[in-house]
Structures are given as structure tokens and as C-alpha cells.
Amino acid sequence: MNSTADSSPATHTLSAWRDPARWAKAADIFAVLIAFSLPWSTSLVGIFAVIWLLAVAPTLDLRLFLQSLKRPICALPIALFVLALVGTLWSDAPWDVRRYALSPATKLLVLPLLFYHFERSARGMWVLVAFLVSCALLMVMSWLVLMYPSLTLKPEGADRGIFVKNYIDQSQEFALCAVILAYPVITLLRDKKLWQALLLIALAASFIANMAFVIVSRTALVTMPVMLAVFALMHLKWRTNVILFLITIVLGGLAWTASPQLQATTDRFVREYRLYKELNQPTSLGLRLVFWEKSLRFFAEAPIIGHGTGSTRRLFEAAATGPAGLVQREVIGNPHNQTLNVAVQWGSIGVALLYAMWLVHLLLFRGEGLVAWIGLMVVLQNFFSSLFNSHLFDFHEGWMYVLGVGVAGGMILRAKDTEGRY
């Protein structure tokens, strides 16, 4: 009898340890921690992601999970990773370079697991809200750093208003949050919930004000108007669109007039192009044009399967000409364009897989509702910003895509309850 009593707590502990519901809840909590830590830390994202994978593993129904991998939304990210893996075989780069170039594509393997888990979890909104709250706190910190520069964790001479990371990552976060908030604002106004709508309007305005008066990336300046235009076309009447368009022009003009920082950012486009073309100075914009021109030439040399994983830097080294200072800046392992990044390494096959993945993920969010809107904006932002950067393969923006599409996509699948349709 004593033996039975003694074994009872152990039996209970073992039963709890094997309980899939507990593991699922733990996975939800760690997904929230990934989203919350993303604006602040790369190390924490990596740590929480590994723990999340360990927590998800006991909840998997292997047969159903393998079935779910047949859906294009899962199969295409896996196929792109497999191509990158196989591409190491025909690359002439050193093996450590090939492995390093493979690592950015590895995060795509998390997408099928996120779809599977949040198709079954009712806590997906926790993750999305955690990211919004974290970005709001970072925005507050950005204003504080602007007023008290000593608070920054960045080295001396870093961009103004940056507490951690960099201004490109921060601008991507703030732009995404500001645009996403437009949907619940319109919904609340239609439901005559004025105070809630005003609260979200104030939050969105704070994100935009930070970008206007503290610091903003040029990529965000280009992509954010496109995202807002998509919102207007999808959710507003044409008369309202005309009025908002005129209001946007007026407010944009006032913001540009009142913000020296915004003026400097927009003026840099023209100045850098002129310095590059007329004086042959290696400006950021000028070098991008060089990267793109050479990448197209590399792609033409191996248009089907590319030069292999990790081959980009060696190609740029071989093609570098001119003064020593300029040559050094023209050697790069990332051409600052996602399509060209893929095309140089894996040719037309890689580009086809990349665009097919973007397309099926875009179509996943073609319905109505806040979650569909969030997923749509995440895909659109990644697509348009990837015209100027390799954002799918960058750590921060890549995880924004994987987490946003994976969580929102799983929630859409759960709501539709149509497994196998995608």
C-alpha cells in the first residue's frame, strides 16, 4: 500500500509530462516570447525558437503533420531550402562559406511547424499582440534615446533614436505595425467604438511620428505607401480614397517640411545617385546599382541552377575592378535584392520557387478579417522590401516573415477548417 502511495506522485508527474495539451500551451508561451523578443534581441529569438521546437515535438501527430507538408504553403518553403542544401554541391566556395550561406534559408523549415501548430492552437493572437506590444515599447525607448542618447546600447556614433538593432529593422517593425492598425481602426469606427479607435489611432500615429521625426529607412518610405494603398483599395470606397489621398499629400508635405530628418532621408536618394554617376563616388545607392548590374551578369552565366550556395562573394571578388577603395566596397556576399540573391546562387529554379512561395502565401490571406489582413501585410512588406534588400534571408526581417505568416496562416487554416485545400 505504501508503494502505491509513493508511486502516485511520480505517476501523476509522468502523466503530466506526457500530456500534449501542456506541451501545446508551453509552445504557445514560447512563441509569444519569440515575438516579444524579436524587436530587441537576435540571441533570445534563437534560444526561444529552439525551445519552441522542443515543446512542439511532443504534440505532433506524425501522420497528420506529414500530410500537411503536401500543401503548397508548406512544400514550397521546404523545396527552397532543399534547393539551397543541394546547391552546396556545385558551389566552388569553401565549405564554411557554403554552410554560412545555407543558414538563412533554414528558418523557412519552421513555417510548416507554425502552420501545423497554430491550426490547432487558439492562442495565435497572443503571439501577434506580443509583437505589437514589444514594438510599442521599443518606440517609447526610441524617443527616450533621442532625448537621452546615453541610454542606447549601441556604440558611440550610432544612428539617432536607436536603442538596439538598427534603423532598417526598426523602420520595418514600426511601418508594419502602423499599417496593420489601420484595419482595426476602421472596424472600430464602423462599430462606433470611438475611444478604442482613438487609442489605436494614437498608437499608429506614434509609430509614424517616430519614423518622421527620429529616423526612418528609405525602404520603409517606399514600401509603406504601397501597403497603405492596398488597404485603401481593399477596404474603403473610392470617394473616401480620394479624400484620404488628398489628406495624405497634405500631411506628408507638412511632415516633410517640419522634419529635417525626413528631408535628409529623401534628399539622400538624389544626392547619392548624382555623386555616383557624376563623380564615381561609392555611395549606397550607387553601389546597389553596381551589385544589381553584376548580379544580372552572374545570373546570365548560369541561368538554370545558378552558381551554387555561397558563391556570390567569390563572383564579386572576380569581377571587382577599379581603385582599391572602390573594389573593396564592391565585394559583397549579398546583392541587396532577394530575387538576385536567389538567382545568382540557384538560377531560374530558385527564382520560380521563391515567387511561387510568395504567391501561395499571399493567396492564403485573400479573405476578410484582421488575421487575414495581418498575414497579407506581412507578405506584401517582405515582397516589396525585398526589392531593395534580401529581407527573406536577413535574420530580423526573415523571422518577421516566418513568424507572421506561420502564426496568421495557422489561424486562417483553423478558422476555415479546410485541411488539404491549400
Tens digits of per-residue pLDDT, 354-367?
Answer: 999 999 999 999 88
CA distances from 61 to 67, 116, 200 (A): 10, 10, 40
Tens digits of per-residue pLDDT, 304-331?
Answer: 999 999 999 898 888 766 554 555 556 7
With contact defined as beta carbons under 8 Å apart, do 399 and 38 qualify?
yes
pLDDT of residue 1: 45
pLDDT of residue 308: 93
With contact defined as beta carbons under 8 Å apart, do 124 and 407 qualify?
yes
Tens digits of per-residue pLDDT, 63-90?
Answer: 999 999 999 999 999 999 999 999 999 9
pLDDT of residue 78: 97
Which range of 101-115, 188-202, 250-264 scores highest in mean pLDDT? It is: 101-115
With contact defined as beta carbons under 8 Å apart, do 114 and 364 qualify?
no
> Chain centroid to CA 138: how far?
17
Q: What are the residue ranges of helices labelled H in 71-109?
A: 72-86, 95-106
pLDDT of residue 419: 47
CA distance 119 to 213: 40
Average pLDDT, the chain: 84
Question: Which of 348, 345, 334 minimizes the C-alpha distance to 386?
Answer: 334
Per-residue pLDDT band for 123 (boundaries 50, 70, 90) equals: very high
CA distance 342 to 240: 40
* Predicted TM-score (pTM) of this structure: 0.87
pLDDT of residue 421: 47
Q: Higher model confidence: residue 328 or residue 163?
A: 163
Residue 265 has pLDDT above 80, yes or no: no
Across 5-19, 109-123, 179-193, 222-236, least confident range: 5-19
Average pLDDT over residues 137-160: 86
pLDDT of residue 296: 93
Per-residue pLDDT band for 232 (boundaries 50, 70, 90) equals: confident
Q: Higher model confidence: residue 38 or residue 276?
A: 38
